[in-house]
Structure 1
């Protein structure tokens, strides 16, 4: 029974299923790690946590607010029900004046009210305590058909650019120069990224081959892997390889509608690989699982 143990460790996925077991329990401490999981007041998960009885509550999160102040209110309402008023009252007093009208006084008033209950650690305060980040740059050599394609594209672009620059001058030819560099980068990633009939037939990519050689070993070691690319089409090619290899993954691009679901799936450890486009994943991502 629950009374025979000192500590219960559970997950957000299980709490709604096991809620009946906790109804008669009065906990001394209730600690929520990654507390932003309860930011949506309309979910069964949020309602479940409101029914748990505890003498003390503690929320731990790196992102107490991702989209709007309503998410912050939800977590605070779990900690101290009514302290910031009801949801409508909070929206009227704080959220609308701060978010829509940029009222500094209301922002300061909210900060004063919540200050005694928040212990904040910013990155600059703890950066010296973090282990150093290891960066390994792996240089790969393109070979065979991919190398031949690269050279033919390079020669074609070189000839074209010389003509354009001679005609318009370098300053007025910058778009063409960038386009040429883009095409060469695409060949380096995977020939199939090029919109050329000849390139579509070249199914050889040093980067993709290396990735698929090293991934299984990394996953066996229990590593969580983030794969970034500027090209969503490259992510699609990696996706095909992952499916063939039977490797679980999630993907985040500009067209992903259920962004938080994708993030949560990776955070819960359901899949080892996260494919992310640089544009979609450049901001607002909190991936502590990686």
Structure 2
């Protein structure tokens, strides 16, 4: 069988970078996609030197509609068929709704919602039906829980959850495996590491390193798991969420909101 090739969006840092290194360690060729001037050429060079795989990269702004077909036109010209798509690119925030501009929210919705939908559509159009293909949509537990100061971000991740669930039903019986990754907090950036280090108890236990999440996610993806929730504490929280009545969850959220207001 020919060597597999994976497309990773948002590949230059954080979880995307960890996905790239994890897949390279499994002898899977890479097509890395990220913004210009985000360190993508340096990452591609590092992976080529340390792993015996092919690495292509494209610097693109995925909020621009023309970027989507450009990726697959490039693959066609290079005679590359992609077998894995990691929809990782996204924009988060931790702020009150009125603190961010309408331009910020427009970009967030485009990147978190429109980009994975359209890339998935183009990816499916070029798959080889004789070979199993894989799609990993990076969601968040923020798409399942109501979290103050993550109002639009959480809504975009709720969309990804619904979109993935529906598409899983449509693709049932096909040679395409689609998984939803639902992580808790991840130490992807220095500012997040500082903030997460202030957490205590269960909140701190939900935080994982990007390398851990990438390994668990790729294991689950290749096994065909429908939803991948890294970390035992996060799995427990999802279970409790399904058992607790809405009024109890609302009470917990209101107490959490009061804590934030007082801080």
Normalised to the residue count of structure 1, the TM-score between the two structures is 0.24
The structure number with the bigger radius of gyration is: 1
Q: Which has the higher contact order (CA 8 A, sep 6+)?
A: 2
